[in-house]
């Protein structure tokens, strides 16, 4: 035994060629992945020693002191569950209680679809996980389909449907000239897409533009979808966070449901309940009847099983604790409104500051856009100037996270934006 080991060690050195793959590497050909466009912003921000630095790249809510927030309702829920829950596996489809409450938020408390058990739903790893489960499901059961994605959209949408191997197309959404919705072209794209196409829609507070269709426009979009027989998939990552009122933010979805669409929907508690890192969300798919919903749910679970087996329990417990207790739920609604109001206040403040500085440009879009982000219209070069000269960090597409704006920095921010834009048109 000893001598064989010694021989082995001799054989197995790097210099040996004895029928061996040398220790040169399995993964020598693996290139470093490109830096994440959003993470890189925060990295650079953290590395900047300037006392004036401002981070408006962050896609997470901050209070008026620029600090991360854990909602009171969440802290209370944590207190209630700490120490008295076991940590057993959830079912593959996740926490039933959490999902019931979550579906009520999207579909309405008295939704017939809920009563008739027509909604196939599974707990998912926040909005990302919900979108991915749907994309994989779409690939598996509609293998010839494509997904139409708005321009622009959250960068990870492209990654998700790409890794699910669903071909992507785009449709017009944002109009750079107006910094609003390119409604006419959007409707053209809907009409020109082959019947029965799959469309990805942001239910509210479009990311990154903050531009949402009006209610009237949503009705027209829904109608056109019906005419064309398209499949509407809603990504709702900001319910409650957009207007301050979750019911109001679900309006687009309710319009489509009223029109009889069988939608798919990704929901997330990352922002509206501040549960970012807990990874809590839900994927739902409307079906013809309960039997079909059972079948679809079972297939969604089959996709989840070889990905993570069953979803994480902690965040789900927090959500169901809050939403099933009327007092905690009311507290949550107040806190969501508070966050939304602070953002709206900062939109007003930055616009007013820019107007007071006699900016030659229109900044109306700042207060028209909705949700966490403002698509400022700044060019990449202007963004670079903001970073290099003023230590202000945002993504190079000019997207400002209003959540990072505070009464303390709004004046400085407006000043800097004015400086880099005052010389001419954008």
In angstroms, the CA 337 to CA 352 distance is 22
The residue (of 126 and 369) whose beta carbon lies closer to a copy of itself is 126
Quick check: is 154 catalytic?
A: yes
Enumerate residues 336-355 that contact a copy of itself by CB under 8 A: none
- Does position 46 interact with a copy of itself (CB under 8 A)? The reply is no
Q: Which of 79, 191, 356, 422 binds a copy of itself (CB under 8 A)?
A: 79
The residue (of 134 and 363) whose beta carbon lies closer to a copy of itself is 134
Q: Which of 271, 297, 332, 363 is flagged as catalytic?
A: 271
The residue (of 1 and 425) whose beta carbon lies closer to a copy of itself is 1
Q: Which of 46, 63, 64, 91 binds a copy of itself (CB under 8 A)?
A: 91
Q: How far is CA 286 from CA 266, 321, 351, 398, in A?
A: 12, 26, 41, 36
Quick check: is 368 catalytic?
A: no
- Determine how β-strand 198-202 pairs with β-strand 147-151: parallel
Enumerate residues 251-270 that contact a copy of itself by CB under 8 A: 259-260, 262, 270
In angstroms, the CA 118 to CA 297 distance is 10
In angstroms, the CA 221 to CA 393 distance is 36
Q: Which of 136, 139, 154, 189 is flagged as catalytic?
A: 154
In angstroms, the CA 371 to CA 273 distance is 14
Enumerate residues 296-335 that contact a copy of itself by CB under 8 A: 296, 298-299, 301-303, 305-315
One-character DSSP codes across 45-92: HHH---TT-EE----S-B-TTS-B---HHHHHHHHHHTTT---PPPPT
DSSP letter, residue 230: P
Q: Choose among 239, 179, 178, 172: nearest CA to 205.
A: 239
Q: Which of 44, 60, 151, 344 binds a copy of itself (CB under 8 A)?
A: 60
Enumerate residues 126-165 that contact a copy of itself by CB under 8 A: 126, 128-129, 132, 141-142, 156, 159-160, 162-164
In angstroms, the CA 227 to CA 229 distance is 6
CB of 355 to a copy of itself, least distance (A): 34
The residue (of 237 and 250) whose beta carbon lies closer to a copy of itself is 237
Enumerate residues 16-35 that contact a copy of itself by CB under 8 A: 18-21, 23-33
The residue (of 253 and 366) whose beta carbon lies closer to a copy of itself is 253
> What character string, x for contact with a copy of itself (CB under 8 A) and - otherwise, covers 162-191?
xxx---------------------------
Q: What is the CA radius of gyration of the chain?
A: 24
Q: Which of 40, 44, 66, 78 binds a copy of itself (CB under 8 A)?
A: 78
Q: Report whether 181 contacts 151 (CB < 8 A).
A: no
The residue (of 33 and 47) whose beta carbon lies closer to a copy of itself is 33
Quick check: is 235 catalytic?
A: yes
Q: Choose among 346, 332, 350: nearest CA to 271.
A: 332
For residue 152, cis peptide bond before it (omega within 30 degrees of 0): yes
Q: Which of 3, 47, 51, 88 binds a copy of itself (CB under 8 A)?
A: 88
For the four alpha carbons of 416, 417, 418 and 422, in that order, the dihedral sign comes to positive
CB-based contacts of 253, cutoff 8 Å, min separation 6? 106, 107, 203, 234, 236, 263, 265
CB of 389 to a copy of itself, least distance (A): 29
Of 4-12, 245-253, 390-398, 410-418, the window that binds a copy of itself (rule: CB under 8 A) is 4-12
Q: Tell me which residues are annotated as active site.
A: 154, 235, 271
């Amino acid at each position: 035994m000893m001598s064989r080991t010694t021989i082995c060690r001799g054989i197995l050195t790097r210099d040996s060629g004895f029928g061996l793959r040398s220790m040169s590497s399995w993964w020598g050909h693996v290139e470093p992945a490109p830096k994440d466009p959003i993470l890189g912003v925060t990295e650079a921000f953290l590395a900047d020693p300037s006392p004036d630095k401002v981070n408006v790249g962050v896609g997470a809510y901050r209070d008026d002191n620029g600090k991360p927030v854990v909602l009171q309702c969440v802290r209370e829920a944590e207190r209630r569950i700490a120490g008295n829950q076991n940590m057993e596996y959830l079912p593959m489809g996740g926490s039933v209680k959490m999902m019931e409450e979550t579906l009520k938020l999207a579909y309405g408390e008295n939704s017939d679809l809920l009563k008739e058990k027509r909604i196939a739903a599974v707990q998912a790893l926040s909005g990302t996980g919900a979108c991915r489960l749907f994309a994989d499901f779409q690939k598996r059961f509609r293998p010839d389909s494509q997904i139409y994605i708005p321009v622009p959209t959250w960068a990870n949408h492209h990654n998700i449907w790409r890794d699910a191997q669903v071909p992507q197309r785009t449709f017009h959404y944002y109009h750079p000239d107006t910094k609003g919705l390119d409604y006419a072209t959007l409707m053209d794209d809907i009409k020109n897409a082959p019947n029965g196409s799959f469309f990805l829609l942001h239910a509210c507070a479009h990311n990154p533009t903050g531009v949402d269709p009006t209610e009237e426009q949503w009705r027209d979009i829904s109608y056109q979808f019906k005419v064309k027989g398209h499949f509407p998939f809603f990504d709702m990552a900001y319910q409650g966070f957009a207007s301050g009122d979750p019911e109001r933010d679900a309006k687009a979805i309710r319009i489509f449901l009223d029109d009889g669409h069988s939608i798919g929907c990704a929901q997330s508690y990352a922002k509206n309940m501040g549960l970012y890192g807990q990874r809590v969300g839900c994927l739902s798919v409307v079906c013809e009847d309960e039997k079909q919903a059972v079948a679809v749910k079972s297939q969604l679970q089959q996709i989840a099983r070889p990905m993570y087996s069953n979803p994480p329990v902690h965040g789900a417990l927090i959500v169901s604790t809050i939403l099933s207790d009327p007092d905690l739920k009311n507290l949550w609604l107040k806190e969501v409104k508070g966050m939304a109001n602070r953002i709206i206040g900062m939109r007003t403040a930055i616009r007013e500051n820019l107007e007071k500085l006699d900016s030659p440009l229109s900044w109306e879009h700042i207060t028209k856009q909705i949700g966490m982000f403002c698509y400022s219209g700044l060019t990449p070069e202007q963004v670079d100037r903001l970073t290099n000269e003023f230590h202000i960090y945002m993504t190079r597409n000019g997207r400002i996270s209003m959540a990072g704006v505070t009464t303390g920095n709004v004046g400085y921010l407006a000043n800097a934006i004015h400086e880099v834009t005052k010389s001419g048109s954008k």
